[in-house]
Amino acid sequence: MKRRSFIKKGAATASIMGLGISGLNAMAESDITIQQAANSFQLKYAPHLGMFKNTAGDDPIDQLNFMADQGFTAFEDNGMKNKSVALQEKMAKTMADRNMTMGVFVAHKIYWKEATLTTGKEESRKEFLEQIEESVAVAKRVNAKWMTVVPGHLDLKLDIGFQTANVVETLKYASDILEKNELIMVLEPLNFYNHPGLFLTKIPQAFEVCKAVNSSSCKILFDIYHQQIEEGNLIPNMKMAWEEIAYFQIGDNPGRKEPTTGEINYKNIFKYIHSRDYKGILGMEHGNSKKGKEGEVAVIEAYKQSDSF
């Protein structure tokens, strides 16, 4: 939303509500405070659609422009693959015009309760690789470099060693596809509490899989929220797995809301990530702790605070 249209809309509303000049001044001052945050972040935090819809409106393009106006230099969209080609292209152009980097989107159908890649079955491997091929086209269309992969549910009839070998073999095939296109799939370990029964849960396990695949196109998505629940030890695990980490996602615990709302010391975590000269994206994969515009302002303020290391 452009600042001029925001003030114009505010003026009309104030007139109707009888707020007068003092009300308008307060609105303008609030808007100026937000605008001053632009371009101040030290890391590439990436909001998603819906995070600022109460302020920016429902249109994805307006939301992207609002994010850029607040200083966010990246964007992620798990559901990008399911959008129309026309909208993908329009969003890609907006991001390019606003110097925003496209983050992850989900590359394939995730089976939350059914064993697929862990089984080694040819039909599951074939379906997965076909979807990776489709995602290459999407990535090129929206100028994405990374795509999220979740290997799915455990096969309770197979030893974990056999399951790991099956997953690694399939990811090698996928890496062959992605390497040719200079793209990266990022494997996301998920916590047992929200997603019980999944194969990939911990950073050391993801590190082991990536080492076995041995490809520049197979790396780790370190979701800080999931790992706080699953195993904690966040910064030491980042240090140990650093060479295989290509992407981060954010969410405080408990609640999976913005930083400062839970137990995770995000200021220290962001400081560590920045100290490693990380140039990648940190996806804001969380909800807002408060409803409406107040909650959206709170998200921006939380990132300003946590980024002030």
Catalytic residues: 188, 285
- Tokens 């995770």 sit at which residue? 264
Q: What single-letter DSSP state applies at residue 74?
A: E
**DSSP letter for each residue of 254-305:** TTS-STTSSS--HHHHHHHHHHTT--SEEE--S--SS-HHHHHHHHHHHHHH
Helix H, strand E, coil C: the string for 88-148 is HHHHHHHHHHCCCEECCCECCCCCCCCCCCCCCCHHHHHHHHHHHHHHHHHHHHHCECEEE
Separation between Cα atoms, residue 25 and residue 262, nearest integer Å: 34
**Residue 24 near residue 11, CB atoms below 8 Å:** yes
Helix (H) or strand (E) holding 186: strand 184-187
Contact yes or no for 153/198 (Cβ under 8 A): yes
Distance, C-alpha 147 to centroid of its chain: 10
CA triple 300-69-32, angle to 5 deg: 75
CA distance 75 to 103: 6
User: Of 167, 151, 148, whose CA–CA distance to 107 is shortest?
Assistant: 148
CA–chain centroid gap for 191, Å, is 16
